[in-house]
Amino acid sequence: MSPRNVEKDKMMREKKMQHILDCALKVMAINGFQLTSIQDIAKEAKVSVGNVYHYYASKEEIFSEVLRSGQTNYGKYVTDLAAMDMEPIAKLRVMLTSWLSLETNWAFTILMHTARLSGSTPPDIKKAITDRFTVNLGPVADIMSDGIRRGIIIDEDPLQLAFYFVSLIQGLTLQRPPDYEVKVEMNVEAIIRLFEIKK
């Protein structure tokens, strides 16, 4: 097999695996982990059960991978955002706007929080979720620190501010499931002002 075909096959495999994870996220967020079967995931993905098992050994592996990949991708995103040459308030605005605009974030947020609360989630998965969440606060805390130094963000503990900011975004996201969204406009500038120094 030529190198080009190997690379193409690898890309197709990764695309198929991501499609299964995206469908699993949606189904698990609606049904919960315990009530979701491989058949449910296969049906949502429009593939056979055997096809799901070709890529993943179990529902638990899919569950763990959905959470790991979502948190890892988010961590890379906020790390890259924190490193950009932009004003801290602009970074917070970009983060807030982009998070609230993604239609699947409600599902990921629900899945992440229910996984941490559920007695059926293995302790190692709960710990991994919590550890990744905590690490991902770091770049947001860096943005807050920069804003504090510049005198534009309130002078409080940067890690606490990051925790409040991310928790606020997640709380708003939880109010946005399809068909049951709370019909209150989300004013990004009003949210940003909660963290800005009043002029």
Q: Which residue has the tokens 């002078």?
A: 155
pTM: 0.85
> pLDDT per position in the chain (199 positions), as tens?
556 688 888 889 899 999 999 999 889 888 888 889 999 999 999 999 999 999 999 998 999 999 999 999 999 999 999 999 999 999 999 999 999 887 778 888 888 888 898 888 889 999 999 999 999 999 999 999 999 999 999 999 999 999 999 999 999 988 887 778 888 888 999 999 999 998 7
Strands (E), the chain: none
Q: Which domains does the chain have, with CATH numbers?
A: 6-194 (1.10.357.10)
- Tokens found for residue 100: 């609230």
Closest CA to 162 of 199, 136, 188, 124: 136
- Tokens found for residue 83: 């490193």
Confirm if 144 and 165 have CB atoms less than 8 A apart: yes
CA 15 and chain centroid, separation: 19
Q: Which positions ≥6 away from 16 have C-beta within 8 Å?
A: 47, 51, 55
